[in-house]
Structure 1
Amino acid sequence: MSNKILFFDIDGTLADQEGILPSNKKALRELRSNGHTVMIASGRPAGYIRRMFSGLADGFIAANGRRIEHNDSILLDNSFTIDELKEIIKLCKASQCAYCLLGDGIVYHGNPLYLYGHTRPYESIDVIHENQWDIHDVKAYAFDIIYKDKDHLKTIKRNFDGKYIINDHFDGSADVSSVSFNKGHAVAYVTNALGFSQDDSYAFGDGDNDVHMFEAAGTAVAMENGTSAARKAADYVTRHFKEDGIFHALKHLKVLNSLL
């Protein structure tokens, strides 16, 4: 088999709040040992991905596409412009939602972070609270929102429609990616930059923000626990991520032949 490039979402695909599933660690290691290229593709910040996947991946797409690294080299650094930041802040204020602008190892809180009783953690990341940062000093690649309830989230989605994709974490928060540059653009960019054909690219995910990634990859795999949009967009739906769905899919697609 020729070498492949594989893109994996994190939350709900490779890991949960308790960490990466053992079978997924085994799968990533075996893929790399067999000569395939493993890329993590997430809405998570770059620093978080580096720590979590050290030794398990060749590189990553962070912040839903705006920061890309491969073998410790930066392939893309596409932070929000001042105008984009102003638009994000305006939309969040109009929607009455708290927000967190995510940089590389730093978080800028906007509006009361603990609005609606939410306490979303950012492990080992420096935090600058609201009213303590200047927009001209911000270098951010993605942002999270904090919402009150399902009706509030529906209002936010209406306000953001056409410009941003909201990927619900189902815990009162969601990560947000822009339509102008998303996981799909990033997957196509990396596939081309590293000399792979689209046919040799695979994408694995579970969320609405993975749909564009599925469109850019040669083969798209959704987790059984994925959103309806993700499952509909996929070429193949594998088992629940907690039921060794990744290993099952890799064997089904004949990318890996080993047993758990």
Structure 2
Amino acid sequence: MAIVGIARALQSENGFTYLAGTWKEHLPRSLLWYIETAKVRKMAEPFLIREPPSKPVPTWSWLVGPIYVHCDVVIPGGGSKRWNPDLYEAKFLCFRWPKEPVNYSPPTAYYDFDGLRITLELATHTSTILPKEPYGEHNCHRLSCDSLEEDLASCLGLDTKRLAASYHCDDLETLYQPPADVRIALVAEEVDLNYRHDLQGLALAPGVESGTWRRIGYWKAWVNLGDDTWEAESIFLRLEGVKIETITLV
């Protein structure tokens, strides 16, 4: 209820549209959240739940997961400086509640998110996710997108040491049994002040309803093409098999 009060106040002051813990005006960037597990030091240490979710929430909202002990929800960005943010950004198209017109928020929108869906235009690619052996306690509970790393290296003619792709699972109970093949969707690609390409996006699986997708995780990748070298266009869009799709997330 505290969040409801804050949402009402901000929406009244700024005219933003509240959508399950985020704002329509901040989509799709605000989809780039993940659960940080670095504070759980040992691979065998269980993820303890402090508070489970109480009501149905869309899979794309950071409100969907339980509150874990020693884990944080992280929304990247804000602290880093980008100087070329326009290589690629997904497009938010619309939102809809069940039995309501498109882009209409019912009076219950502040606290009842059941059935809320959003539609975006995204660049998608099929990838394989595998657990990565930790290099130390601080690097545990980390998964790698091996096939994405290989595809990027092959496409760009680079050694895999000059790039990396990692994955953060939304449901920590399934952390070590990730799906073999997932649809990954690029949300943003930027170049930082060190001429490094930074990519961020979502891992998706088919929803229960035909034509819908549910979020299962967050992925990020970086590519260093060389000293003072960067591409003026998205390198993700150069991968073989990438498609621009209209995706409805539930």
Normalising to structure 2: TM-score of the pair?
Answer: 0.26
Bigger RCO (CA 8 Å, 6+ sep): 2
- Structure that is richer in strand per residue: 2
TM-score of the pair, normalised by structure 1 = 0.25
- Structure with bigger helix share is 1
